[in-house]
């Protein structure tokens, strides 16, 4: 990949999908991925508004976010709302300069955009490497989806240099690896009775995801960590057996 994928997560209006595809075409971003759009696929309104953008013709449809991001190694989540997660918050310019540096270092980068009604789900944000927040007015902050895409596409094209402190990770874990790791970790914690009280489970899960996402594991580290989880789970089982004896 020589440019980031833009991923629309459960978008509602075809007009916005089409306008996103059009402006991505204007600014030279070919890789649009659409996750579970409300009105199905293909979408005639999207086609009408895209005015022949090749980006819409080549867009990828998936039914889950995991399928859309599996082959990526670095993800930015656009969100206006602070989510109470420990996560870097970048401007569009900072994020796209970093995305450029990461792409040039061989990473596969994606930018997540939430649907019109409720934005990105918490688990999409918690797994991201950083948050992008646009500098909007507090009292009139709701940006149109395609405008958000337009600003990010423009910033990609504007081509700012990489930040001085950017350090590429070599052989970064893919998001598919990371999702498997999170699932495994959460599952074993759940078995061990870690999530308590139950109503706090989603919050605890997202805090754990956010904490691990910050580590930016390599492929090898992700494998090692999964081995560690397995060992702890088995050890716990053994310990219980010992106690039960």
Interface contacts to a copy of itself, rule CB under 8 A? 19, 22-23, 25-28, 51, 53-54, 91-93, 134-137, 140-144, 146-147, 150-151, 154, 157-159
CA 197 to CA 194: how far, in whole Å?
Answer: 9
Give me the least distance between CB of 150 and a copy of itself, in Å please: 5
Structure tokens at 63: 């039914």
Give me the least distance between CB of 164 and a copy of itself, in Å please: 18
Structure tokens at 132: 């992008």
Give me the least distance between CB of 21 and a copy of itself, in Å please: 10
Cβ count within 10 A of residue 12: 16
Give me the least distance between CB of 102 and a copy of itself, in Å please: 21
| CB-nearer residue toward a copy of itself: 143 or 162 | 143
| CB-nearer residue toward a copy of itself: 9 or 146 | 146
Give me the least distance between CB of 67 and a copy of itself, in Å please: 28
Cβ count within 10 A of residue 201: 15
| CB-nearer residue toward a copy of itself: 55 or 65 | 55
CA 67 to CA 76: how far, in whole Å?
Answer: 16
CA 31 to CA 152: how far, in whole Å?
Answer: 14
- Are the beta carbons of 17 and 37 closer than 8 angstroms? yes
Residue with tokens 């999170």: 182
Give me the least distance between CB of 52 and a copy of itself, in Å please: 8
Cis amide leading into 67 (omega within 30)? no
| CB-nearer residue toward a copy of itself: 136 or 192 | 136
CA 57 to CA 62: how far, in whole Å?
Answer: 15
| CB-nearer residue toward a copy of itself: 10 or 148 | 148
| CB-nearer residue toward a copy of itself: 120 or 145 | 145
């Amino acid at each position: 990949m020589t440019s980031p994928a833009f991923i629309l997560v459960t978008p509602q209006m075809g007009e916005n999908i089409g306008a996103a595809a059009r402006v991505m075409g204007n600014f030279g971003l070919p890789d649009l991925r659409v996750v579970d759009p409300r009105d199905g696929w293909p979408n005639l309104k999207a086609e009408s508004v895209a005015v022949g953008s090749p980006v819409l013709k080549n867009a990828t449809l998936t039914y889950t976010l995991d399928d859309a991001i599996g082959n990526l190694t670095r993800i930015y989540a656009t969100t206006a709302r602070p989510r109470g997660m420990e996560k870097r918050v970048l401007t569009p310019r900072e994020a796209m300069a970093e995305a450029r540096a990461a792409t040039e270092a061989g990473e596969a980068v994606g930018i997540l955009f939430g649907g019109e009604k409720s934005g990105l789900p918490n688990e999409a944000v918690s797994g991201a490497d950083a948050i992008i927040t646009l500098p909007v007015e507090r009292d009139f902050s709701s940006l149109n989806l395609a405008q958000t895409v337009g600003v990010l596409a423009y910033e990609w094209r504007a081509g700012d240099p990489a930040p001085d402190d950017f350090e590429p990770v070599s052989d970064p874990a893919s998001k598919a690896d990371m999702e498997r790791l999170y699932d495994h970790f959460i599952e074993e914690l759940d078995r061990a009775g870690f999530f308590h009280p139950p109503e706090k489970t989603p919050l605890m899960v997202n805090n754990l995801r956010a904490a691990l996402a910050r580590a930016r594991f390599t492929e090898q580290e992700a494998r090692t960590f999964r081995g560690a989880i397995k060992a702890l789970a088995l050890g716990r089982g053994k310990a219980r057996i010992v106690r039960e004896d």
